[in-house]
Every structure is written in structure tokens, then in C-alpha cells.
Structure 1
Amino acid sequence: MRALLARVDAVLVQAVIAAALSFAHLHDIALAAGQDGWKAWAYPVSVDLLLVAAWRQLRTGDTKASGWCWFVIALTASLGANVATAGLLDLDDVPAWLRILVAGWPAVAFLGGTLLAHSAPKAVEDVESATEDACQVDDTEPAPEPPALPAADPAPVLTATSAPPAVSVPAALVEHARKVAAEHHTRTGAAIDTPTLRARLGVPAPMAEAIAAQI
């Protein structure tokens, strides 16, 4: 546990030092390019935030190309400032092209941050699209009406001596009718009669009588 904490502490310390140095280099470049005051401090914040947003897009999003594009742009800005302050650039006489790049960076960072923020993961887009499709109602076509059940014909109440009519009834339909009859008996306390069974199953009267004889 102590070894793990020591390793984590070392990583955090290294990250803080690297971030502070990069932050200072970006600030110095912005200041040398004519961005004084609070603006010079805002530039390193903008670069680092774009770098983090692009890295997050690479890890969690589906638009990898966009994430890599903005990650490379932010990394180039950060590395460029670090290298430029190593003595390769005279900070007292900054060239015009660097002033142009520094002045145009806010627009680039705003565009990149906006595109990264509004590129939702594909899974979220699929869920939102499915939800919208499920909630969408087509007003041009009316909803189909349920089929009307045939009128119930008078039929005798089931008795123990009823003879089964000569009607072929599928075994699956008989099994379903038994479940319906059992549910009716549990709910009402009485055996289901043929008209009720016929209405529940939606079958012709002869078939209802045949089914009733088998249950």
C-alpha cells in the first residue's frame, strides 16, 4: 500500500511540475507576442483545456479523427511554446508570424472546444434517436381499430354430460383455453361458460363448444 501511495505521489508531483513549466512557457510566449495582463495568463489555460478535451474525446467518444486533430493542434501549441523559450527565439523581438498565431489562437481554441463539446458518443446518439422515433406519432394515418369479436350466440352452459362436437381443435388452443378457464374460476369462483369462453378466445360457436367439452 505504501509503495502504491509513493508511486501515485511521485506521478502527481511530476505532473504538477510539468504542467507548471508548460503553463509558464505559454504565458511567456503570449506576453512576448503582445498579450499582456490577464490575457497572457488565459492563453496557457486555453491550450491546456483544449488538450484535455481532445484527450477525453479520444478515450470516450467515437469521432476519433476529430479528437486526434485537436489533440495534435493543442500539443503543437504547448510543445512549440516550450521549445521557443529554450533560447531558439528572441522574446524581445518576436517575429510577426508568431504574433499572428498567438492573436488567432482564441478563435481556434473556441472552435475546437465547441466541436468537441457537441460531439456526443455514438451510444448516446443511438438512444436519443430511438427515443425520438418511439415518441413520434404519425398524424396522417389513424391507428387501426381492434378487430371486432363475433357476436355471441346463445349456447348451453357447460355440463358434465355435454358431448364434444365433431370439430377439430388444435391442442395449443385447448391448453390456452384451460388457462383462461382457470383464471376465470380463480377470479369469479364459478366455472366459465361457453359464451364467455368464446368471447375470450374470439372463436366461432362450434369451436367454442368443442373446446368447452375438452376442458
Structure 2
Amino acid sequence: MRPALRPDAVLVQAVIAGALSFAHLHDLAAAAGQSGWKAWAYPVSVDLLLVAAWRRLRSDGPSRLAWCWFLVALVASLGANVATAGFLDLANPPALLRLGVAGWPALAFLGGTLLAHASSPDRAGDRMPVPPAPAAPAPTPTPESEPEPAPALEPDTAPALPAADPAPAVTVPAALVDHARKVAADHEARTGNPIDTDTLRARLGVPPHLADAIAAQLA
């Protein structure tokens, strides 16, 4: 079930105050020479400008544009309430009052247009700029420490290296030695020079240590 409607004291007070302000604006416009529907349109214009400026303040935050037109509408509404309280002779209104009432439609149209169609950069420019956060200081480089030199070994404490074993004797087969002699004789017959170890190793296709052993036997 929907809850029953209950009167709200704040809402009732707002309706009464709005009705009184509306009536005062109507009476002031009628006294300034605005008759018929024109006199009723003035309070509507003032109240709408006041509401538009207040809505702009609530939605976009404080700005010079919204505060300017909010104060203009508030002065117009408050001025009408004070003027109709006997401070002015509404039967013979001053020329300045007639001028203000006659120029109000253009002023209200300008304010409503600016409040409704102001671009975002303008709204951003009205706010206070936020200073950038300070940059973090660069880290100070720490000097690199040099490695400590290793302690030198005393001559008498240095460990003695084991003596290298003598290279084992290479045994060359007799058939390989005979073949090497033939190769050496053929090389000397063709070139006139005795064969060297590198050439002998290349002709026989043997490893270096075996070629040295064969050359030693051919010498």
C-alpha cells in the first residue's frame, strides 16, 4: 500500500513564500505599466531564472556565471517584495522602475541562454585550477665500492703443483714406417728437398704426435 500523503511543513512554507513572491512581482509589473498576461509573465521569468541558476550551481559546482545570474534573479525577487511593502508609490511609479521592468525580458533571456548553453571549457575555467603535484626527487647515486684485492700467498705457503707425467712413447708400426720412407723418397725425388713433418702428416693422414714419431725414425 502506498503511504498516505502527509503535509510537510517545509513544503507548505515554500509554497506560501513562492505564492507571495509571485504576487508581489505581478503587482510591481502591473504598476510599471505591464497589463494582462505580461504582468503574470514577469514573476514566472524571475522564478525560472532563479531556479536555473540554482540548478547550475548544484549540478556543475560553484562558478562565476551561475552565481552572477542567481544574484540577479534574487535581487529582482527581493526588490519586488520590498517595493510592494509601501516603500514606493505604486500609483505613480518612478521612471527608473519602469525602465527596469521594461528591460527585464532581455536580461532574463540572456541569463537563461548563458546558463543553458555555456560550453564545458567555460565551466572548467570558472573553477580554481588544481596545482600539479611536486615531482619526486631523483635518487642520489651511491658510489660503487671496489672489491678488496685477494691476499697474496707467501712463497713458502703456496701449494706446490704436481709434476707433469712424461709423455708416453709413441709406438709406430713397422709397415707404417716403411710406407713413410717410400713417401719421403718420392717427395725428395720430385722436389729435390727432404720431406717436412707437416707434409708427411698430410700425405699419411696421421695425427701430429704420430707424424712427429715417424719423422724422428726417418731422420
> For the superposition of Structure 1 and Structure 2, which TM-score range results when normalised by the shorter chain?
0.5 to 0.7
**CA pair 63-14 structure 1, distance change in 2 beyond 3 A:** closer
TM-score calculated relative to the size of structure 1: 0.52
- Taking only the aligned residue pairs, the percentage that are identical comes to 73
TM-score calculated relative to the size of structure 2: 0.51
Aligned to 1:12: 11
Pairing 1:73-152 to 2, within 5 Å after superposition: 73-120=72-119
**CA pair 69-15 structure 1, distance change in 2 beyond 3 A:** same
> Structure 1 residue 25 and structure 2 residue 24: aligned?
yes
Aligned length: 120
Shift of 1:7: 9.1
Shift of 1:20: 0.1
**CA pair 7-84 structure 1, distance change in 2 beyond 3 A:** farther
Query: Does the aligned pair in 2 maintain the 1:63–1:119 contact within 8 Å?
Result: no
Higher helix share: 1
Deviation per residue, 1:112-156 (Å, 9 max, x gap): 00000012556x99xxxxxxxxxxxxxxxxxxxxxxxxxxxxxxx
**CA pair 6-86 structure 1, distance change in 2 beyond 3 A:** farther
SS at match of 1:92: coil
One-letter amino acid of the counterpart of residue 54, structure 1: A
**CA pair 121-55 structure 1, distance change in 2 beyond 3 A:** farther
Aligned to 1:61: 60
**Whole-Å separation in 2 of the counterparts to 1:26 and 1:12:** 21
Shift of 1:61: 1.7
SS at match of 2:8: helix
Query: Does the aligned pair in 2 maintain the 1:50–1:113 contact within 8 Å?
Result: yes
Query: Does the aligned pair in 2 maintain the 1:30–1:43 contact within 8 Å?
Result: yes
SS at match of 1:94: coil
SS at match of 1:35: coil
Shift of 1:60: 1.1
**Whole-Å separation in 2 of the counterparts to 1:7 and 1:87:** 37
**CA pair 69-36 structure 1, distance change in 2 beyond 3 A:** same
Deviation per residue, 1:81-139 (Å, 9 max, x gap): 000000101110000000000000000000000000012556x99xxxxxxxxxxxxxx
Larger radius of gyration: 2
Deviation per residue, 1:7-53 (Å, 9 max, x gap): 97111100000000000000000000000000000000000000000
In structure 2, the gaps of 5 or more residues are 125-219
In structure 1, the gaps of 5 or more residues are 126-215
Query: Does the aligned pair in 2 maintain the 1:34–1:99 contact within 8 Å?
Result: yes
Shift of 1:6: 9.6
Query: Does the aligned pair in 2 maintain the 1:50–1:112 contact within 8 Å?
Result: yes
**Whole-Å separation in 1 of the counterparts to 2:30 and 2:77:** 15
